[in-house]
Amino acid sequence: MKLANLDGRATIVVTGAGASDGGMAGLDVASASGGRFGPDPQAVLQDWQAFSAWAEDLDLMNAEPIAQASLGNPVGTPRQVFAIGLNYKAHAAETGSTLPATPATFTKYPSSLAGPFDEIVIDVETADWEVELVVVIGTQADHVSEAEAWDHIAGFTVGQDISDRVLQRSGGAQFSLGKSRRGYGPMGPVLVTLDEFEDPADLSISCVLDAETVQDSRTNDLVFDIPNLLAHLSSVLTLQPGDVIFTGTPSGVGVARDPRRFLKPGQVLESTIEGIGTMRNVLIAGPGS
Ligand code: ZN
Protein backbone atom coordinates (compact mmCIF):
# COMPACT_ATOMS: atom_id res chain seq x y z
CA MET A 1 0.00 0.00 0.00
CA LYS A 2 1.05 3.54 -0.72
CA LEU A 3 -0.26 6.20 1.65
CA ALA A 4 -0.11 9.93 0.98
CA ASN A 5 -1.11 13.19 2.62
CA LEU A 6 -3.37 15.07 0.21
CA ASP A 7 -4.18 18.54 1.57
CA GLY A 8 -3.82 17.23 5.13
CA ARG A 9 -5.96 14.11 4.58
CA ALA A 10 -4.70 10.53 4.59
CA THR A 11 -5.12 9.15 1.07
CA ILE A 12 -4.38 5.70 -0.30
CA VAL A 13 -2.74 6.12 -3.69
CA VAL A 14 -2.31 3.97 -6.75
CA THR A 15 0.24 4.72 -9.41
CA GLY A 16 0.24 3.80 -13.06
CA ALA A 17 -2.41 3.47 -15.73
CA GLY A 18 -5.39 5.80 -15.76
CA ALA A 19 -3.95 8.36 -13.40
CA SER A 20 -2.94 11.77 -14.66
CA ASP A 21 -0.25 14.20 -13.45
CA GLY A 22 2.57 11.80 -12.72
CA GLY A 23 0.28 8.81 -12.87
CA MET A 24 -1.24 8.99 -9.40
CA ALA A 25 -4.80 8.43 -8.22
CA GLY A 26 -6.09 8.47 -4.67
CA LEU A 27 -8.88 7.38 -2.38
CA ASP A 28 -9.65 9.51 0.69
CA VAL A 29 -9.28 7.29 3.77
CA ALA A 30 -11.87 9.05 5.97
CA SER A 31 -14.52 9.01 3.23
CA ALA A 32 -13.85 5.43 2.11
CA SER A 33 -13.92 4.16 5.71
CA GLY A 34 -17.05 6.10 6.66
CA GLY A 35 -15.04 8.08 9.20
CA ARG A 36 -13.52 5.06 10.94
CA PHE A 37 -9.96 6.11 10.02
CA GLY A 38 -8.34 9.47 9.38
CA PRO A 39 -8.48 12.07 8.00
CA ASP A 40 -5.29 13.06 9.92
CA PRO A 41 -2.34 10.96 8.64
CA GLN A 42 -1.09 10.63 12.23
CA ALA A 43 -4.50 9.31 13.35
CA VAL A 44 -4.18 6.55 10.75
CA LEU A 45 -0.74 5.62 12.07
CA GLN A 46 -2.00 5.55 15.68
CA ASP A 47 -4.44 2.80 14.65
CA TRP A 48 -2.08 1.15 12.18
CA GLN A 49 -2.91 -2.55 12.64
CA ALA A 50 -6.66 -2.07 12.25
CA PHE A 51 -6.14 0.36 9.40
CA SER A 52 -3.80 -1.84 7.39
CA ALA A 53 -6.13 -4.83 7.82
CA TRP A 54 -9.04 -2.71 6.57
CA ALA A 55 -7.02 -1.31 3.66
CA GLU A 56 -6.00 -4.78 2.48
CA ASP A 57 -9.46 -5.51 1.09
CA LEU A 58 -10.12 -2.05 -0.24
CA ASP A 59 -11.41 -1.63 -3.79
CA LEU A 60 -9.33 1.11 -5.40
CA MET A 61 -11.39 1.27 -8.60
CA ASN A 62 -12.91 4.57 -7.46
CA ALA A 63 -9.59 6.29 -6.89
CA GLU A 64 -9.55 9.75 -8.46
CA PRO A 65 -6.59 11.41 -10.19
CA ILE A 66 -4.61 13.61 -7.84
CA ALA A 67 -2.00 16.29 -8.41
CA GLN A 68 1.32 15.15 -6.94
CA ALA A 69 2.27 18.76 -6.25
CA SER A 70 -0.45 19.02 -3.59
CA LEU A 71 0.98 16.17 -1.52
CA GLY A 72 2.21 16.96 1.98
CA ASN A 73 4.45 15.02 4.35
CA PRO A 74 2.76 11.57 4.44
CA VAL A 75 3.39 11.18 8.17
CA GLY A 76 1.99 14.54 9.29
CA THR A 77 3.58 15.65 12.57
CA PRO A 78 5.27 12.78 14.43
CA ARG A 79 5.78 12.97 18.19
CA GLN A 80 9.39 11.84 17.90
CA VAL A 81 11.83 12.27 15.00
CA PHE A 82 15.08 10.33 15.26
CA ALA A 83 18.02 10.79 12.94
CA ILE A 84 21.23 8.80 12.68
CA GLY A 85 24.59 10.32 11.78
CA LEU A 86 27.54 8.57 10.09
CA ASN A 87 25.52 5.49 9.17
CA TYR A 88 27.09 4.76 5.76
CA LYS A 89 30.78 3.79 5.75
CA ALA A 90 31.66 5.90 2.71
CA HIS A 91 29.95 8.93 4.26
CA ALA A 92 31.81 8.52 7.56
CA ALA A 93 35.06 8.25 5.57
CA GLU A 94 34.37 11.35 3.44
CA THR A 95 33.80 13.43 6.58
CA GLY A 96 37.01 12.13 8.18
CA SER A 97 35.05 10.49 11.01
CA THR A 98 35.61 7.10 12.58
CA LEU A 99 32.60 4.79 12.61
CA PRO A 100 30.63 5.17 15.84
CA ALA A 101 30.35 2.09 18.06
CA THR A 102 26.63 2.73 18.61
CA PRO A 103 24.20 4.70 16.40
CA ALA A 104 24.98 8.45 16.55
CA THR A 105 21.47 9.70 17.31
CA PHE A 106 20.00 13.20 17.22
CA THR A 107 16.57 14.69 16.48
CA LYS A 108 15.17 16.94 13.81
CA TYR A 109 12.55 19.00 15.62
CA PRO A 110 9.12 18.23 14.12
CA SER A 111 8.62 21.87 13.08
CA SER A 112 11.43 21.42 10.50
CA LEU A 113 9.44 18.82 8.55
CA ALA A 114 8.00 19.74 5.14
CA GLY A 115 6.21 18.27 2.15
CA PRO A 116 7.79 16.44 -0.80
CA PHE A 117 7.11 19.27 -3.27
CA ASP A 118 7.36 22.26 -0.93
CA GLU A 119 9.64 25.17 -1.69
CA ILE A 120 12.45 25.38 0.87
CA VAL A 121 13.93 28.70 1.97
CA ILE A 122 17.74 28.68 1.85
CA ASP A 123 18.89 31.81 3.66
CA VAL A 124 22.26 30.64 4.95
CA GLU A 125 25.44 30.03 2.94
CA THR A 126 26.18 26.60 4.45
CA ALA A 127 23.09 24.43 3.90
CA ASP A 128 23.88 20.91 2.67
CA TRP A 129 21.91 18.00 1.19
CA GLU A 130 21.47 14.53 2.76
CA VAL A 131 19.03 12.10 1.13
CA GLU A 132 17.86 9.43 3.60
CA LEU A 133 15.59 6.44 3.93
CA VAL A 134 12.99 7.24 6.60
CA VAL A 135 11.42 4.45 8.68
CA VAL A 136 7.88 5.08 9.96
CA ILE A 137 6.85 3.25 13.14
CA GLY A 138 3.47 1.45 12.99
CA THR A 139 3.16 -0.17 16.42
CA GLN A 140 4.70 0.68 19.77
CA ALA A 141 8.22 -0.69 20.12
CA ASP A 142 9.62 -1.23 23.60
CA HIS A 143 12.73 -3.38 24.07
CA VAL A 144 12.22 -5.11 20.71
CA SER A 145 14.76 -7.61 19.39
CA GLU A 146 16.25 -7.30 15.92
CA ALA A 147 14.09 -10.25 14.84
CA GLU A 148 10.91 -8.47 15.96
CA ALA A 149 11.84 -5.07 14.56
CA TRP A 150 10.29 -5.33 11.08
CA ASP A 151 6.86 -6.09 12.64
CA HIS A 152 6.81 -2.62 14.25
CA ILE A 153 7.33 -0.72 11.00
CA ALA A 154 4.42 0.80 9.05
CA GLY A 155 6.57 1.56 6.03
CA PHE A 156 9.24 3.70 4.44
CA THR A 157 9.38 7.12 2.90
CA VAL A 158 12.09 9.39 1.47
CA GLY A 159 13.57 12.20 3.55
CA GLN A 160 16.10 14.98 3.24
CA ASP A 161 18.11 15.78 6.34
CA ILE A 162 19.10 19.26 5.14
CA SER A 163 21.85 20.52 7.41
CA ASP A 164 23.29 23.94 8.18
CA ARG A 165 26.91 22.86 8.61
CA VAL A 166 27.94 25.94 10.59
CA LEU A 167 25.04 25.82 13.05
CA GLN A 168 25.53 22.03 13.33
CA ARG A 169 29.06 22.57 14.67
CA SER A 170 28.56 25.80 16.61
CA GLY A 171 28.90 25.72 20.39
CA GLY A 172 30.69 22.39 20.19
CA ALA A 173 28.11 20.33 18.36
CA GLN A 174 24.38 20.82 18.11
CA PHE A 175 23.23 18.56 15.32
CA SER A 176 19.57 18.80 16.30
CA LEU A 177 19.33 22.56 15.87
CA GLY A 178 21.59 22.68 12.80
CA LYS A 179 19.31 20.20 11.06
CA SER A 180 16.04 21.85 12.08
CA ARG A 181 15.86 25.15 10.24
CA ARG A 182 12.40 25.77 8.79
CA GLY A 183 11.62 23.31 6.03
CA TYR A 184 14.90 21.38 6.38
CA GLY A 185 13.11 18.03 6.67
CA PRO A 186 11.00 17.33 3.58
CA MET A 187 9.45 13.84 3.52
CA GLY A 188 7.48 11.90 0.92
CA PRO A 189 6.12 11.64 -1.65
CA VAL A 190 4.33 8.60 -0.15
CA LEU A 191 4.64 6.11 2.69
CA VAL A 192 5.12 2.62 1.22
CA THR A 193 4.42 -0.54 3.24
CA LEU A 194 7.14 -3.19 3.41
CA ASP A 195 5.22 -5.82 1.41
CA GLU A 196 5.68 -3.63 -1.68
CA PHE A 197 9.47 -4.13 -1.69
CA GLU A 198 11.20 -7.19 -3.05
CA ASP A 199 13.97 -6.62 -0.49
CA PRO A 200 13.30 -3.72 1.92
CA ALA A 201 16.91 -3.92 3.14
CA ASP A 202 18.44 -3.20 -0.27
CA LEU A 203 17.09 -0.16 -2.14
CA SER A 204 18.82 2.31 -4.43
CA ILE A 205 18.96 5.82 -2.95
CA SER A 206 20.01 8.97 -4.78
CA CYS A 207 20.06 12.75 -4.66
CA VAL A 208 20.10 14.96 -7.74
CA LEU A 209 20.89 18.67 -7.58
CA ASP A 210 20.01 20.63 -10.73
CA ALA A 211 20.10 17.43 -12.79
CA GLU A 212 23.55 16.45 -11.43
CA THR A 213 23.63 13.22 -9.42
CA VAL A 214 25.41 14.08 -6.15
CA GLN A 215 24.54 10.98 -4.09
CA ASP A 216 24.00 7.46 -5.43
CA SER A 217 24.10 4.42 -3.17
CA ARG A 218 22.14 1.49 -1.77
CA THR A 219 20.55 1.05 1.65
CA ASN A 220 22.34 -2.28 2.13
CA ASP A 221 25.43 -0.19 2.93
CA LEU A 222 23.96 0.98 6.26
CA VAL A 223 26.41 0.52 9.14
CA PHE A 224 23.59 -0.03 11.66
CA ASP A 225 20.79 -1.64 9.70
CA ILE A 226 17.11 -1.03 10.37
CA PRO A 227 16.52 -3.93 12.83
CA ASN A 228 19.63 -2.85 14.71
CA LEU A 229 18.40 0.77 14.93
CA LEU A 230 14.97 -0.25 16.27
CA ALA A 231 16.51 -2.62 18.81
CA HIS A 232 18.97 0.03 19.96
CA LEU A 233 16.53 2.94 20.18
CA SER A 234 13.79 0.86 21.84
CA SER A 235 16.26 -0.32 24.48
CA VAL A 236 16.57 3.32 25.57
CA LEU A 237 13.02 4.64 25.08
CA THR A 238 9.65 3.66 23.65
CA LEU A 239 9.06 4.20 19.95
CA GLN A 240 5.48 5.30 19.35
CA PRO A 241 3.26 4.74 16.32
CA GLY A 242 3.83 7.55 13.85
CA ASP A 243 7.41 8.22 14.99
CA VAL A 244 10.04 8.41 12.24
CA ILE A 245 13.71 7.52 11.97
CA PHE A 246 15.95 9.23 9.40
CA THR A 247 18.46 6.40 8.95
CA GLY A 248 21.51 8.34 7.74
CA THR A 249 22.88 9.61 4.45
CA PRO A 250 25.26 8.00 1.95
CA SER A 251 28.42 9.70 0.67
CA GLY A 252 28.37 12.68 -1.68
CA VAL A 253 27.36 15.53 0.63
CA GLY A 254 28.52 19.04 -0.25
CA VAL A 255 30.63 19.76 2.84
CA ALA A 256 32.93 16.82 2.08
CA ARG A 257 33.72 18.01 -1.47
CA ASP A 258 36.78 19.93 -2.57
CA PRO A 259 35.88 22.70 -2.95
CA ARG A 260 32.95 22.54 -0.54
CA ARG A 261 29.53 23.04 -2.09
CA PHE A 262 26.30 24.19 -0.52
CA LEU A 263 22.67 24.65 -1.53
CA LYS A 264 21.63 27.91 -3.20
CA PRO A 265 18.26 29.53 -3.90
CA GLY A 266 17.10 28.74 -7.43
CA GLN A 267 18.36 25.16 -7.37
CA VAL A 268 16.12 22.08 -7.57
CA LEU A 269 16.77 19.24 -5.12
CA GLU A 270 15.45 15.81 -6.11
CA SER A 271 15.57 12.87 -3.71
CA THR A 272 14.72 9.35 -4.83
CA ILE A 273 14.47 5.87 -3.31
CA GLU A 274 13.63 2.79 -5.36
CA GLY A 275 10.03 1.70 -4.86
CA ILE A 276 9.01 4.90 -3.05
CA GLY A 277 9.41 7.73 -5.53
CA THR A 278 10.97 11.15 -5.94
CA MET A 279 10.62 14.33 -3.93
CA ARG A 280 11.26 17.55 -5.82
CA ASN A 281 11.95 20.62 -3.72
CA VAL A 282 12.66 24.00 -5.30
CA LEU A 283 15.04 26.08 -3.18
CA ILE A 284 14.12 29.74 -2.79
CA ALA A 285 15.59 32.87 -1.23
CA GLY A 286 14.38 34.02 2.17
CA PRO A 287 12.06 37.01 2.60
CA GLY A 288 14.98 39.15 3.78
CA SER A 289 17.27 38.54 0.81
ZN1 ZN B 1 21.53 12.88 8.14
Q: How far is the CA of 51 from the centre of ligand 1 (A)?
A: 30
Domain residue spans in the chain? 2-72, 81-284
Q: How far is the CA of 171 from the centre of ligand 1 (A)?
A: 19
β-bridge pairing 185-192 and 131-137: unpaired
Q: How far is the CA of 176 from the centre of ligand 1 (A)?
A: 10
The pLDDT, as a whole number, for residue 61 is 86
pLDDT of the chain along its 289 residues, tens only? 999 999 999 999 998 755 544 589 999 999 999 999 999 999 999 999 999 999 998 988 889 999 988 999 999 999 999 999 999 999 999 999 999 999 999 999 999 999 999 999 999 999 999 999 999 999 999 999 999 999 999 999 999 999 999 999 998 889 999 999 999 999 999 999 999 999 999 999 999 999 999 999 999 999 999 999 999 999 999 999 999 999 999 999 999 999 999 999 999 999 999 999 999 999 999 887 6
Q: Which of 244, 234, 239, 221 is nearest to 156 (CA)?
A: 244
How far is the C-alpha of 163 from the C-alpha of 106, rounded, in Å? 12
How far is the C-alpha of 271 from the C-alpha of 252, rounded, in Å? 13
Homologous superfamily (CATH) for 81-284: Fumarylacetoacetase-like, C-terminal domain (3.90.850.10)
Q: How far is the CA of 223 from the centre of ligand 1 (A)?
A: 13
How far is the C-alpha of 66 from the C-alpha of 22, rounded, in Å? 9
CB atoms within 10 A of CB 132: 28
Q: Answer for the pair 181, 283: CB distance below 8 angstroms, yes or no.
A: no
Q: How far is the CA of 98 from the centre of ligand 1 (A)?
A: 16
How far is the C-alpha of 105 from the C-alpha of 175, rounded, in Å? 9
The pLDDT, as a whole number, for residue 113 is 98
pTM: 0.97
Q: How far is the CA of 161 from the centre of ligand 1 (A)?
A: 5
Question: Which residues are CB-neighbours of 128 under 8 A, at least 6 positions away?
Answer: 162, 163, 164, 165, 253, 254, 255, 262, 263
The pLDDT, as a whole number, for residue 62 is 87
Q: How far is the CA of 179 from the centre of ligand 1 (A)?
A: 8
